[in-house]
Chain A
Amino acid sequence: MPEVWARLEDVSIRYGPKVVMQNLSLDIVDGAITCIIGLSGAGKSTILRLLNGLKRPDAGRVFVRGQEISTLRERDLISIRQTIGFSFQFAALFDSLTIGENVALPLREHTKMSGEEIDKLVSETLESVGLGNVESRYPSELSGGMVKRAGFARAVISNPQCVLYDEPTTGLDPIITHILTNTIKKLRDRLNGTAVVVSHDLGSIYMMADYVAMLFEGAIIAYGTVDELRRSPNPIVQQFLQGSEVGPIPI
């Protein structure tokens, strides 16, 4: 049995009258890349927010490395969050800071490293995601793909145990998508940690996923390796993978 990094146990979430999750349970395997797929608005990004305490479940429990985080106070979540990197869908870099300052921020705030050490590590981390000499530029001066990679760099600079990626390749051309997918794999190998990726991009998922979970109507309806998912007899899974309009998924 592979070791579990995080566990969602009977989690329910509703936004107003809309039920987003209903008794959802999911294990995130330690050291693996787990991809979460599902229709738009199915609650995939909410799963990422549950895993680092940005969102609390209305019912159910969330465990990270065996510790229940769903009941922790905000101040107690800080130490947990320092072990989890989060790459946001639109990178969420701070507009008023340069790329270098953005990437350095967690180190400046949480470590006693000297300015020179931080600058060196920032350069190395940006190089590792394929960005050189952009430290002094502002997010608004970079392309979408470069901003996403800068977001990756900020997420991984503290050597987190796990990195959460929210739609890392959405809206990017196939070449940049390929590069970013490889970057996620390289970063996982470099950190020797866990990654959870929310994506619609099946090509990327087939390239990088160790495990895939499909979310549909508030529950995980399929879970397994890429091959297992492809062979799934579930007509909902098959319709989603084939991108077909015809099938049990209501359009």
Chain B
Amino acid sequence: MSALEDVGRDTATFLEYAGGVANLIGESATFIGRLRIRVNETFSQAYLLGVNSWTIVLLTSLFTGMVFSLESAVQAVQYGIGNLVGGVVAFTTARELGPMLTAVVVAGRAGAAIAAEFGSMVVTEQIEALQSLGLSPIRMLVVPRLVALIVMLPILTVFGDIISVLGGMLVANIYANISYDSFLASVRSTLPFGDVVRGLVKSLVFAVIIVAIGSYQGLNTRGGAAGVGKATTGAVVTSIILIFIFNFALSYILFRQNA
């Protein structure tokens, strides 16, 4: 009986969480649809959440491309298919690694920042202050971050894709003597432009996940400083898990024909 109760309670908690996040996304979409967007705040958030993430995206993308090339280039040359390395690196990066890794590092940075900021605002009654002034926290706080990251995450992903391919190209050249021309020719012949675009569609979904989960966790913070820490950790962990799940689902939907 107690196990059943636990399952029931957990199910109710999950449904409440999922409903809350869906409601937050729905309300945000309504404000965006009515163009009730705070433009200056959106630019400010695009800088804070997007532009300020470029170094971390650069480093993770660079080393991911480099290690991928390191693992595949020598063996590919040994099997006489060194001319395919560029294509393999670019193909995997644009479709899977680029969007997912960029989203994961941005979730760690921006998602945590959103949850911590909103959590602190809850604890210091600033969210209630907004409501008491007749202002919606969704419009004032969530919508600018959502619009900012929907714009910035695909840009960061393209940036990460390019850096990853360049890193792979460098290592392939140094480590397996694959020329830059051969590498780039392989990239051009193997990677359809449509795959890059579909990879960016993933980024749009990941941006919504990062902001929605970070905002929901932050706005539902309970308790003091410990509550803020819990909300922040919860936001990062939940976002990353959802990014992996949605990445699989989106790959299945977007790349099914190619597969």
Contact = CB atoms under 8 A, between A and B. Distances in A.
Interface residues of B, number: 11
A77 B136 CA distance: 11
B28 to A, nearest CB: 14
Contact of A54 (B124, B126, B131): B131
B133 A90 contact: no
Interface stretch (A1-9, A32-40, A79-87): A79-87
A206 interface: no
Interface in A62-108: 74-75, 77-79, 81-82, 84-86, 88-90, 92-95, 105-106
Interface string B108-140: 000000000000000011101101111110000
Q: Is the interface of B mostly helix, strand, loop or mixed?
A: loop
B133 A81 contact: yes
Contact of A88 (B129, B134, B135): B129
B142 to A, nearest CB: 14
Contacts of B135: 105-106, 109
6 closest cross-chain pairs (CB), A and B: A92-B129, A86-B132, A92-B125, A81-B134, A78-B134, A82-B134
Contacts of B136: 74-75, 78
Contacts of A93: 126, 129
Contacts of B132: 52, 54, 81, 84-86, 88
A25 B129 CA distance: 26
Contact of B134 (A49, A92, A106): A106
Contacts of A74: 136
A86 B132 CA distance: 6
Contacts of A52: 132
Contacts of A231: none
Contacts of B125: 88-90, 92
Given A88-B125, A92-B124, A92-B128, 20 more contacts: A54-B132, A74-B136, A75-B136, A78-B136, A79-B134, A81-B131, A81-B133, A88-B129, A88-B132, A90-B124, A90-B125, A92-B126, A92-B129, A93-B129, A94-B129, A95-B124, A105-B133, A106-B133, A106-B134, A109-B134
Contacts of A112: none
28 contacts: A52-B132, A54-B128, A54-B131, A77-B134, A78-B134, A78-B136, A79-B134, A81-B131, A81-B132, A81-B134, A82-B133, A84-B132, A85-B132, A86-B132, A88-B128, A88-B132, A89-B125, A92-B124, A92-B125, A92-B129, A94-B129, A95-B124, A95-B126, A105-B135, A106-B134, A106-B135, A109-B133, A110-B134
Contacts of A106: 133-135
A84 B134 CA distance: 9
Nearest to A109: B135
Contacts of A54: 128, 131-132
Contacts of B128: 49, 54, 86, 88, 92
Contacts of A95: 124, 126
Contacts of A105: 133, 135
Contacts of A84: 132
Nearest to A81: B134
Contacts of B133: 81-82, 86, 105-106, 109, 154
Residue with the highest number of chain B CB atoms closer than 10 Å, among A78, A79, A92, A106: A92
Nearest to B125: A92
